[in-house]
Structure 1
Amino acid sequence: MSLYSVTALLILDHTGKRIFAKYYSPPHDTEVPKLTLAEQLKFEKGLFEKTSRQNNDILIYDNELVVYKALMGPKIYMVCPPEENEAMMFQALMGIRDALDVLLESQTDRDALMANYDRVTITIDESIDNGILLESEFNVISSRVTQEANEEPSLQNIDFTEKGLRSMFGFAREKLSQVVKQQLT
């Protein structure tokens, strides 16, 4: 199991056409070539053909672990390396699906997903960051998407002295360690 546990998140409509696709690769991994658009579309087409004939929620396709679930017509897919924990990945996928269901008021057909594309994108970004699984609880995800900013950021309130910079780096180090501890548990 790796910190970078998600290779791609896809939403394909009932004909296999792309509604949403985001491919991830670890930033430090230069050995794995990034897929071209043609390779992505070929992968998505083959994946859709394979899953349209099956009723499972988890499968191995093209040496990748794929967990998927149907929405109202479209299907949402999470693609992961084969050594990942499929139960954990499926739980994360269900969290994204349920958050979309709540945010779009149970209207998760193709037209609703396209009309609310901003919410779809933010929902996925609140769940997965650069292939790192951040959150899998649908209520936490949906509350983060609907949460409004409390105040405008201002450069006037930032202390750029040495003490202020040390404090800022300490805060960043603390937040990073919290995220890493969350991912490891």
Structure 2
Amino acid sequence: MHPFILGITGTSGSGKTTLITALLPWFRAQGLTVNVIKHSHHPLELEPPGKDSARFRAAGAAEVMVASPYRFAIVRELADEAEPTLAGQVARLRPADITLVEGFRREAIPRIEVYRPAHGRAPCYPGDPSIVALATDARMDTVLPCLALDDIAQVGGYILAMKDVAGAVSAAAAFSCSRDGATAI
């Protein structure tokens, strides 16, 4: 099974995180599992300096895992390694029905742009062909599908329709490859 990966993009303060956090319980109510990957340009600090795991990292640990009965986190120092790709990050996660991505703008994945004209910033979609729809609080003059930002069922339903189409395309490609004697994907 190929994971369905969808980016949520937009300018700073547009509501990307708010949309994702509203979608998560909606998807859970549909019986779906969802992973989220958030890219940051800032250093990650999961514990304050001086705490045990931060001290382990500062002392030279390549990876530090913090675990409890409720969750765990792994912090890996990249040192001289290249920044991990989105595909590499997705591979580290458990399989899920949907993986939502905030950030990783240079990666070639379909995206929904969160756009609020009242914020006074230009939209991203005219210069970004990866944007396939807008989640907005205004009427827009565009050929892209415009989803009501405050209608989570509409946005979630659109994402599920995209997932279904992506799955059908993957299945058709696998069938086509197997009929031509190539290895099915």
Whether the TM-score (by the shorter chain) exceeds 0.5 is no
* TM-score calculated relative to the size of structure 1: 0.30
Q: Which has the higher helix share?
A: 1
